[in-house]
Amino acid sequence: MEAIEQYIVANHLQPGDPLPTESALCDSLGVSRSSVREALRQLKALEIVDVQQGRGAFVGDMTLRPLIKTVFLRSSTAPDSAEALSQVLRVRQVLDLGLASEAIQALQGTHDDHLHELVDQMISKAQRSEFFMDEDIEFHTELLKKINNPLAEQLVNAMWMIHMMALPQIHRGFEGLPETARAHEAMLVSAENGDLEGYRRAVFAHYDPLNQALDSLSQEDNPSAGK
């Protein structure tokens, strides 16, 4: 597995590029065909390699989906699942805070109609006590595209997807929709105004209702924790 990964790196291969045949890999690595096939099978599970029947092996998409599944399962099966999910939210918050300066640089002095439209839709849904998951992820995705940091975009989206997979637990009795929607608005307006501190305050306001919901969930699942 490591040799195939090193081959991809050394040859600067991109997703979709072909890999050597199984026979060529056997010869170059000095291992059996069964060893090569097992390595390719495991790399396929990690989306590093894409094996196509009758065509051979190619460099895979290398998305963060395996990470998403692993972290979600870890969070869901932890002795204190609410605390594990809270850690996921804290990672999201750290990423948003860490990208605050870049968001300011990208949006300062502008007015993005699409982002404002998404904020308006979130606020409108919140007023009707409706969740706004689609608008939420699109807001963060579009914001990160302006920052032009693909890895940060993938990481934020990965953490957000874990959040989505845990919705039945996090949003049980969740009452912070208006505050969360308004926090998105404050993030956008602060970025357009070049207000770094305002942006950071808005990020904290974004996550406070979710963190409070998880604290309540943790106390429900483990009443002695709050004593």
The pLDDT value recorded for residue 226 is 47
The pLDDT value recorded for residue 196 is 97
> What predicted TM-score, i.e. pTM, was given to this entire model?
0.67
Average pLDDT, integer, range 44-66 = 85
Q: For the chain, what percent of residues have pLDDT higher than 70?
A: 82
Highest mean pLDDT among 90-94, 160-164, 184-188: 184-188
Average pLDDT, integer, range 44-72 = 82
What are the structural domains of the chain? Answer: 2-59 (1.10.10.10), 65-226 (1.20.120.530)
The pLDDT value recorded for residue 77 is 57
Q: What 8-state DSSP symbol labels residue 39?
A: H
3-state secondary structure of 52: strand
Tokens at 89, concatenated: 């939210």
- 38 confidence band (pLDDT: 50, 70, 90): very high
Task: Judge whether residue 223 has pLDDT over 60.
Answer: no
The pLDDT value recorded for residue 219 is 63
Task: Judge whether residue 204 has pLDDT over 90.
Answer: yes
Tell me the sheet residues that pair with 56. Answer: 52
The pLDDT value recorded for residue 85 is 73
User: What CA–CA distances, in Å, run from 82 to 197, 204, 227?
Assistant: 29, 19, 17
The pLDDT value recorded for residue 197 is 97
Higher per-residue confidence, 163 vs 145: 145
Query: Which of 2-11, 127-136, 168-177 shows the lowest mean pLDDT across its residues?
Result: 168-177
Higher per-residue confidence, 184 vs 132: 184
Average pLDDT, integer, range 208-227 = 65
Task: Judge whether residue 170 has pLDDT over 80.
Answer: no
Task: Judge whether residue 109 has pLDDT over 80.
Answer: yes
**Contact assessment for residue 218 and residue 210, using Cβ atoms and an 8 Å cutoff:** no
Mean pLDDT rounded to a whole number for the chain: 84
| Exposure string for 124-162, b = 16+ CB within 10 A, e = fewer | ebbeeeeebeebbbbbbeebbebbeeeebbebbbbbbbb
